[in-house]
């Protein structure tokens, strides 16, 4: 199975039809498991990742921002091939 790509908007940016949610990376999924999910998603053709400053869920002060840190480490050397959808909820730091 390969994920189809579609145009995002009218400017030629192509994203996978499915966006991979990352809200459990850093809580239910440790870094090793998160990397395995991301590796498999890349093989399947995903290039669209969903992040947020309040991930992982359930939110806590101890894990706040860890999803973005995990995905950031995984993206090293791959960043140009991926589109990130993000949002923010709370002040950080």
Predicted confidence at residue 90, as pLDDT, reads 66
Tokens linked to 36 = 């395995």
Question: Structural domain boundaries of the chain?
Answer: 5-85
Predicted confidence at residue 93, as pLDDT, reads 63
Which of 55, 66, 67, 82 is an active site residue?
Answer: 55
More confident residue, 92 or 18: 18
Q: Which residue stretches of the chain are H helix?
A: 31-44, 66-75
- Please say if 55 is a catalytic residue: yes
Residue 17 CA to residue 47 CA, distance in Å, equals: 9
Q: What is the pLDDT of residues 26-76, one digit of tens each?
A: 999 999 999 999 999 999 999 999 999 889 998 888 898 899 999 999 999
φ/ψ of residue 43, rounded to 5: -60, -40
């Amino acid at each position: 199975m390969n994920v189809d790509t579609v145009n995002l908007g009218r400017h030629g940016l192509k994203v996978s039809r499915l966006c991979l949610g990352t809200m459990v990376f850093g809580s239910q999924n440790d870094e090793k498991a998160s990397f395995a999910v991301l590796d498999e998603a890349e093989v399947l053709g995903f290039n669209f990742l969903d992040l947020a400053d309040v991930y992982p869920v359930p939110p806590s002060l101890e894990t706040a921002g860890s999803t973005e840190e995990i995905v950031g480490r995984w993206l090293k050397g791959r960043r140009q091939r991926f589109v990130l959808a993000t949002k923010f909820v709370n002040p950080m730091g």
